[in-house]
Amino acid sequence: MKTKLLLLYTSILLTLSSCHTETEDFISKYCPGSCTVIKGRLTTDDRSKPLGGVMLEVRYEEFSMFSSFKRRKAVATTDANGNFELRFLMRDDEIGNADGSFGEMNVYAHLDTSKYLTCSGSQRLLAYYRLKRDTTLAVNYNIPRKAFVQVQALNTAAMQTGDNLTTDFIVDAGAADDPSTCVPGIFWHRNVTAQTFAIAANQQVTIRTYKRKSGVETVTSETVTLTPGQTINYQVTF
């Protein structure tokens, strides 16, 4: 019985491990026509400084619980002014249907995420689910350098049912037309009293704390500007 279970377990593992594929689409990379174009400018330091020499890549990706499929679609490197243009040809199976059950077209930046702050926390900058052929998108994207804040929540032991304490770090990062996607935050509760966050350096970061205590809501805000790599301590009190 043990042998059968072991064989079954091994078979399942082998099956799962064989379901991750990655391909390279050179036809897309040298797009002959009907191209999808994502172009814009990559910056850092509050959108004031161009990020040149960063390699960007478009990948079509499908994920499920036991498998993944990746197809590299295009690469481009930002020029000295941070400008880029990603041009690729979408295949029929990459154009999502009405209920969006297919994969996604992701844009990645090949940069050091220990030094640069991306909204996703990874090298992925953008994700598209409804892209089409013959389409041009303009994106100006800010990738701040990283600083750190060690936040400590005081008096959380006094939190009762219905009480609430939240701290958000509001920063102008990511796509210029969609800054809301880049607001990391933390919901404090009795068991979480300290946490370290990476925040943007060389630009203003608003630390906003929402508190609801015994039905009374208060909001406090403070603005900080840190240098790259700097760490500060910050306290919120319930």
Partner 1 sequence: MKTLLFGLCLLLSGFAATAQDSLAYRSGIRIQYGGAYPTGDFNNTNFEEDYPPFAKEGSMFQVSYLRSIKERLFAGATLAWRRNTFDMDKFADPADELVTDKSSKPWQSVFVMADAEYRFIARDGFFYVKGSLGSAFSRSARLQVNTLYGTINRPADNGFAFAYGLHSGVQVDLNQFGIGFETGVISTRSTFEITDAQGKTTRYKQTMATINCGLFANYSF
Residue placing its CB nearer to partner 1 in the complex, 7 or 27: 27
Residue 177 neighbours by CB under 8 Å, 6+ apart: none
| Interatomic CA distance for residues 173 and 97, integer angstroms | 31
Which residues have a Cβ under 8 Å from the Cβ of 31 and sit 6 or more positions away? 74, 87, 88, 89
Smallest gap, in angstroms, from Cβ of residue 109 to partner 1?
A: 13
Of 109-168, binders to partner 1 (CB under 8 A) are 133
> Looking at beta carbons only, is 19 or 55 nearer to partner 1?
55
Handedness of CA 91, 95, 97, 101 (dihedral sign): positive
Find the binder of partner 1 among 39, 70, 91, 124 (CB under 8 A).
91
Rg over alpha carbons for the chain, rounded to the nearest Å, is: 22
Number of residues that bind partner 1 (CB under 8 A): 18
Residue in 6, 16, 55, 154 binding partner 1, rule: CB under 8 A = 55
User: Which of 10, 15, 17, 34 touches partner 1 (CB under 8 A)?
Assistant: 34
Distance in angstroms (rounded) separating the CA atoms of residues 10 and 18: 12
Q: Check residue 236 and report its DSSP letter.
A: E
Least Å distance between CB 76 and partner 1?
A: 10
DSSP state of 65: S
Tell the smallest beta-carbon distance from residue 136 to partner 1 (Å): 12
| 226 contacts: CB under 8 Å, gap ≥ 6 | 147, 148, 149, 199, 201, 202, 205, 232
- Location of structure tokens 């030094």: 115
Least separation, in Å, of the C-beta of 124 and partner 1? Answer: 17
Binding mask 13-32 for partner 1 (x = CB under 8 A): -----------x-xx-xxxx
Closest separation in Å from C-beta 15 to partner 1: 24
Backbone angles phi, psi at 83, to 5 degrees: -75, 145
Closer Cβ to partner 1, 72 or 146, answer by number: 72
Nearer to partner 1 (CB atom), residue 70 or residue 212: 70
Residue 35 C-beta: closest distance to partner 1, Å = 8
Binding site for partner 1 (CB under 8 A): 24, 26-27, 29-34, 55, 57, 72, 75, 87, 89, 91-92, 133
